[in-house]
Structure 1
Amino acid sequence: MKNLLYKEFRLAIHPSVYIFFALAALLLVPLYPYYVSFFYLTLGIFLTFKTNRAENDIFYSALLPVRKGDVVRARVLAVALLELANIVIAIPFAILSAKINPVGGNNAGIEPNVAFFGLSFLMYGGFNLIFFPVFYKTGRSEGKAFLWGGVFTFLYIIAAESLAQYIPSPVSAYLDTLEKSAQLRQLPVLFAGIALWAAFTLLSAKISAERFEKVDL
């Protein structure tokens, strides 16, 4: 697994992924839907799969003396590490954003707070649960996988922003604030988001590995 993961980062991951990491700085932009800054990474994931198909990466990987399921698990793990890195990179920008605008005021979406990061983890988990099983059902349909994953992501963003910003309620008051005491109370949202991201990603790896074992390359 270690060698497969090394191969993913040295040969497979599309360079645009690392460029999209820089878009975490969009959290500094006022009046911006901050979930979109994390969506760009899913585009980098799609470009990775698209480029790999053109280079016959999946066929090459299947020829290695490893199980096909391990090839899938290495790819899912690589993407999960990229998602985690993207969120970690965004944290300093969120802190700086709160200092620049400590009273909030992002009328375009949720504030870059603790709950936002928990909900972002959940967004990535849902994307993984859709994208990977759809792709590894055939090993060739990255466009279809990204279409369904992208539809989910944008519907999720609309729902999450509506819940936190556009539908006045105790929930929106709880989620959409930069007050320090409120952010401590948001920690359960963060922990739940991380737990569900991990669970959905592991489930996507399990389903994808089982499907890919049946694919005749």
Structure 2
Amino acid sequence: MKDLIYKEFKLAIHPTCYLFLLMGFMLLIPNYPYYVAFFYQTLGIFFIFVGGQANNDVYFTTLLPIPKRAAVKARFGIIVIIELAQIVVSIPFAVLRNSLNPAANQAGMEANAALFGLVFIMFAIFNLIFLTMFYKTAFKLGLPYVFACGAMAIFVGAAEAVIQLTPALKIALDTLDPSYLPQQLAVLIFGMVVFTLVTVLAYLRSAARFEKIDL
């Protein structure tokens, strides 16, 4: 598996994935919907598959003396690494933003622990929809990405609506007040658990679908 992950880094990962890591700086923008900073990385992941199609990556990978499931696991591995890297790189920008400009964000959630918990769930939704739909055919990309983006947008809109319209949640989650850090950490931990479970489910479903495809 280590060799397959290395192959993904050397041959599959798209340069925009590294570029989009820098989008964490968008957390410094005042009054901005910070989810957008993380959305860009899903586009980088999409480009990995676009590049793979251009290079017949799926076909050539299946020629290797490995199970199809191993190829799917390696691709999931690189995607999870990219998503986690996006979150880790964004944390210093969130800390810096809150130090330089502690004023409230008028365009959505503050750059706090709860935001990162919701981002974990957003990535989980992307993995479940985009990856499982792609591995059903191993070549259709556009529609799975559109559906995944639509689902992420619905989740973000619903989460923001619930938090902003529920006074108790808004007070506890949409704030930089450290006294509410335990509640925000609870959302972060919940998001991490959801991300882990849903991504594992997405992998199992994707691997099962890919094994049924006759290439």
Show the counterpart of 1:16. Answer: 16
Show the counterpart of 1:128. Answer: 127
The amino acid that maps onto 1:10 is: K
Is residue 142 from structure 1 mapped to residue 144 from structure 2 by the alignment?
no
Cα deviation for residue 142 of structure 1 reads 1.3
List, as ranges, runs of 4+ consecutive aligned residues in structure 1 with deviation greater than 6 Å.
none
Show the counterpart of 2:187. Answer: 189
Contact kept? 1:177, 1:183, Cα under 8 Å: no
Contact kept? 1:118, 1:190, Cα under 8 Å: yes
| Mapped partners of 2:75, 2:47: distance in 1 | 14
Contact kept? 2:173, 2:183, Cα under 8 Å: no
| Mapped partners of 2:124, 2:177: distance in 1 | 27
Cα deviation for residue 185 of structure 1 reads 2.6
Render the CA deviation track for 1:30-78: whole Å, top value 9, x for unaligned.
0110001000000111111011111100001000000001100110111
Q: 1:60-209 residue pairs with structure 2 within 5 A?
A: 60-102=60-102, 104-165=103-164, 167-209=165-207
Cα deviation for residue 168 of structure 1 reads 4.3
The amino acid that maps onto 2:174 is: D
Aligned residues: 215
Q: Secondary structure at the match of 1:144?
A: helix
Contact kept? 1:98, 1:112, Cα under 8 Å: yes
| Mapped partners of 1:204, 1:42: distance in 2 | 16
Q: Secondary structure at the match of 2:137?
A: coil
Q: Which runs of 5+ in 2 are unaligned?
A: none
| Mapped partners of 2:162, 2:9: distance in 1 | 37
Contact kept? 2:104, 2:175, Cα under 8 Å: no
| TM-score relative to the length of structure 1 | 0.96
Show the counterpart of 1:211. Answer: 209
Render the CA deviation track for 1:98-125: whole Å, top value 9, x for unaligned.
11122x3111110000100111101101
| Mapped partners of 2:120, 2:38: distance in 1 | 10
| Larger deviation, residues 167-176 vs 56-65 | 167-176
| Mapped partners of 1:143, 1:197: distance in 2 | 23
Render the CA deviation track for 1:128-178: whole Å, top value 9, x for unaligned.
01111100000001112111111111111211222233x242112211000
Render the CA deviation track for 1:171-216: whole Å, top value 9, x for unaligned.
1221100011112331111111001101111110000000000011
| Mapped partners of 1:87, 1:97: distance in 2 | 15
| TM-score relative to the length of structure 2 | 0.97
Show the counterpart of 2:4. Answer: 4
Q: Percent same amino acid among aligned pairs?
A: 46
